[in-house]
Amino acid sequence: ADGNVTDGGITDGSVTDGSVIDDSLVDSSFTDGSVTDGFITDGSVIDGSVTDGSVTNGSVTDGNVTDGSVTGGSVTDGSVMDSSVADGSVTDSSVAEGSFTDGNITDGSVADGSVADASVTEGSFTDGNITDACVTDGRVADGNVTDGGITDGSVTDGSVTDGSVTDGNVTDGSVTDGSVTDGSVTDGSVTD
């Protein structure tokens, strides 16, 4: 329920390799306000801790990851594996402004091939999900979006807003042949 994971509740190394397994976080497991400001600290979610299918449809609802809740280095290289965040698990406004701070998604955290075929499926990003300047320089590295990674209808109207993608954040070779498929970016999905 609201406020059940409080400030400082998840400390360094508390979520270890393989600790969150398939289907462990089910539909509606995180409700509004359950993940509060500053409660996930550096190194708390380590390599391999969130495995395939562990965060299922509807598990993260509106407003439950609040401002500043994920700090620098808290989500480390390899901590989120293929299909661990299922279709519809992150809904409108579930990750609030400022919840991811500078440096918490570090170089190599979204590694080569980490966004695999069909990993971003139809309707996974809805209106306003990616806000102004949320993707900064160098965030999407060479080769990390592979063939078929962004499927038909995955980016809908208004989902990528003004200034959300800045200079140099999509680097040379990061989007390969066929990675953005027919109809994946619809009218108005990338705004002025």
Q: For position 190, what pLDDT does the model report?
A: 72
Tokens (6 digits) for 51 = 């495995």
Q: CB under 8 Å to 126, separation ≥6 — which residues? A: 91, 92, 156, 159
Q: Is the pLDDT of residue 150 over 60?
A: yes
Q: For position 122, what pLDDT does the model report?
A: 60
Higher pLDDT: 5 or 91? It is 91
Residue 97: Cβ within 10 Å count: 12
pLDDT tens-digit series, residues 50-70? 667 666 676 677 766 777 677
Q: Is the pLDDT of residue 185 over 70?
A: yes
| Total residue length of the chain | 192
Tokens (6 digits) for 65 = 């990851």
Contact 137, 169 (CB under 8 A): yes
For the chain, give the mean pLDDT: 65
Q: Which residues pair with 85 in a beta bridge?
A: 55
Tokens (6 digits) for 125 = 């990003």
- Sequence ranges of the domains in the chain: 1-109, 110-192
pLDDT tens-digit series, residues 105-144? 555 555 555 555 555 656 666 565 555 555 666 666 666 6
